[in-house]
Amino acid sequence: MDLVPALHEPLRQPLKSVLGPATAKVMAEHLGLVTVGDLLHHYPRRYEERGQLTHLADLPMDEHVTVVAQVADARLHTFASARAPRGKGQRLEVTITDGSGRLQLVFFGNGVHKPHKELLPGTRAMFAGKVSVFNRRLQLAHPAYELLRGDPEESVETWAGALIPIYPATAKLESWKIGKALQTVLPTAQEAVDPLPESLRRGRGLVPLPEALLKIHRPHTKADIEDSRARLKWDEAFVLQVALARRRHADAQLPAVPRKPSPDGLLTAFDARLPFTLTEGQQRVSREIFEDLATEHPMHRLLQGEVGSGKTMVALRAMLAVVDAGGQAAMLAPTEVLAQQHHRSIVEMMGELAEGGMLGGAEQGTKVVLLTGSMGAAARRQALLDLTTGEAGIVIGTHALIEDKVQFHDLGLVVVDEQHRFGVEQRDALRGKGKQPPHLLVMTATPIPRTVAMTVFGDLETSVLDQLPAGRSPIASHVVPAADKPHFLSRAWERVREEVGNGHQAYVVCPRIGDEEDDPKKSGKKKPPESPESQASPEDAAEKRPPLAVLDVAEQLSKGPLKDVRVEVLHGRMHPDDKDAVMRRFAAGETDVLVATTVIEVGVNVPNATVMVIMDADRFGVSQLHQLRGRVGRGSAPGLCLLVSEMPEASPARQRLNAVASTLDGFELSRIDLEQRREGDVLGQAQSGARTSLRMLAVIEDEEIIAEARQEATAVVARDPELTRLPALRTALDALLDEEREQYLEKG
């Protein structure tokens, strides 16, 4: 929303810089702040009142923090070390307090002299550094600090009540330096042009943009902060929703071939074969999809559903409807294991309907082909030929489908499975293979809260499958604290043996493969020696140990707790034929326990598997754990998921695992996941990380604002799709949609 030349001015220029060149360089490289406008939109994370100090008791481990506190005590110690063998090493220990807790600061060597003079008991200052633990006490080693000296003119009351902005900072640029840089550029905030239509701004009682920018960086009262936040959140939500509304409007203008299934065709024959009744949810979502397919504009629909809710069945019926109407359908899967699994299960479900043109095939059948990168040349040639001639109505493949050689006779529908695994370019390349834009169905088993769906997938209509098919069993989930209670882990292996004894099967998942390529022990990298101030806590020890590996764990289990049990391994670096053979043996019940990486995370369907043991579960994300857990409980026997972790009970990692164990509701878990990860760049390809186009808006907390902004944006775009009467909004949109994001939306 950097709207005028003054705000576009670079912070660093060859001849004159707005800031010092060193500061501007750090801002660009570490915080992504390049222009005056970028810096103005770098908002404080929170505010400290000088009279009300931070709760030192609540500091997060291993994070870069800024605290305001008072020096309680400072002591200089001498000690002998390798560098100072005669006892001339110096260490300054400073204790600071805020009334809620105490925190130790340590300075070593030549770094003790300045703080020894300045950090006297009673001194107030801001301190910034990384929180660590030494001798079971929290500490900051060599923190940067800024003394807080009240202006002589300032009354004690004013000084104590002043709000100090604390900015997202880095080790190379402390919060107070960012604050000083902002004071330099703050006058240019007056030149910010307001993107909100005046009627909307007044109707919602929002302050003008220049006022919001001034108040967010220099608030006099807490009401100033609230006013500016409310305004800046609306900016972000509204401009983003306008971008998505324009995308939806443009899509609605594109032509597409309507695809209506014939009354007695392939779909009817398939439905007649089904040995079960579709759930109400499957029937409802199928109706929504068939209505979209029958229109003259391309369908853009997101189908989200819990693990095992029957999304593949809904997608298959959509593909059959398109084949019925004379078109072809392509399903894009993220891995070869999943593509092969989909191909196998679809061919099984269709029976003779998947043998169109073959001896014994049904009259109204079609060919279902598989296309992956590792296929033999002859099989590949035949698959390509079947697609070009239209002989194959359905193709299932990996990114090999996107290659230039792949030509379709008449591509009518693209189904993308597990959308978060694909770059937008890949999806777009496949859509570009239709003579006219094909219909698009995007599927995900990672439940997405409504507000995220309105932002990340705001240009797609959404269908939700929230019922599990009949016959699915509940899954019990438990955390196994391997370090605190080793006997719990022994019991976990006993449970696996019991399930195998009852004729069932189990998965054991590890974060790493354990071959030479990913083994830190064999990669030749030496660990740096630990300094006296960096001894590890139990949490650090669990973090710093290399993640458990498939090859090691499989060997230990075969020789130990699972001796005499048929154990096999599966991981991404195996030859595709070997992977397929392992999966076939497991599916056929010839293997009891499969020790694997996350290649089994999506789509793998073995109803007889009842136990999932996830080693080092704290190394996986919330939605990934939920996905993995969904591999069991797919038959009539109840499922069991054991989350093994060495992290201490009070750690955030264990709290995350407890959350996963406490609910099977994927939507609830996705909220927890999002609150912990932040949103990431909702328009860029990164799904998380520091760079985000949402600086103020939190998609979980601000659901109401997003929903209202979507309504307003849709109305504005319907009246004026090109925004010709709203030049300031158009400028704001251009600033949000830099080239990469513009392409993302164009292709999305």
> pTM for the full model?
0.65
105 phi, psi to nearest 5 deg? -110, 140
Listed range (15-29, 395-409, 674-688) with the worst mean pLDDT: 674-688
CA distance 589 to 407: 39
CB < 8 Å & 24+ apart, contacts of 363-366: 364/265, 364/266, 364/269, 365/266, 366/266, 366/323, 366/392, 366/393, 366/394
Q: Do the beta carbons of residue 573 and residue 513 sit within 8 Å?
A: yes
Minimal CA–CA distance to 132: which of 118, 147, 143?
A: 143
Q: Do the beta carbons of residue 448 and residue 699 sit within 8 Å?
A: no
CA distance 745 to 219: 36
**Over residues 613-624, mean pLDDT:** 90
**pLDDT per position as a tens digit, 311-327:** 889 999 999 999 999 99
Distances (CA, A) of 24 to 9, 19, 66, 183, 214: 12, 6, 21, 14, 21
Q: What is the mean pLDDT of the chain?
A: 81
pLDDT higher than threshold 60 for residue 424: no
**Over residues 505-516, mean pLDDT:** 88
DSSP one-letter code for 170: B
> Which segments within 399-458 are labelled E, that is strand?
411-417, 439-444
**pLDDT per position as a tens digit, 638-690:** 999 999 999 988 788 888 899 899 888 777 777 777 666 544 444 443 333 33
Residue 221 amino acid letter: T
Residue 734 amino acid letter: D
Minimal CA–CA distance to 664: which of 472, 397, 513, 499?
A: 472
Listed range (101-110, 300-309, 352-361, 717-726) with the worst mean pLDDT: 352-361
The secondary structure element, H or E, covering residue 69 is strand 64-79
**Over residues 577-591, mean pLDDT:** 90
Highest mean pLDDT among 6-20, 58-72, 143-157, 239-253: 239-253
Q: Do the beta carbons of residue 695 and residue 236 sit within 8 Å?
A: yes
Listed range (164-178, 519-533, 668-682) with the worst mean pLDDT: 519-533
Between helices 280-293 and 311-324, what is the axis angle to 10°? 30
pLDDT classification of 1: cutoffs 50, 70, 90? very low
pLDDT computed for residue 551 by the predictor: 92
pLDDT higher than threshold 70 for residue 570: yes
pLDDT classification of 80: cutoffs 50, 70, 90? low
3-class SS at 111? helix
- Contacts of residue 378, defined as CB under 8 A and 6 or more positions apart, other chains included, come to none
Percent of the chain with pLDDT over 70: 79
pLDDT classification of 219: cutoffs 50, 70, 90? very high
Judge residue 576's burial from the number of C-beta atoms within 10 Å of its C-beta, 0-12 exposed, 13-18 middle, 19 or more buried.
middle
**Over residues 275-296, mean pLDDT:** 92
C-alpha angle with apex 124: 123 to 129, nearest 5 degrees? 115
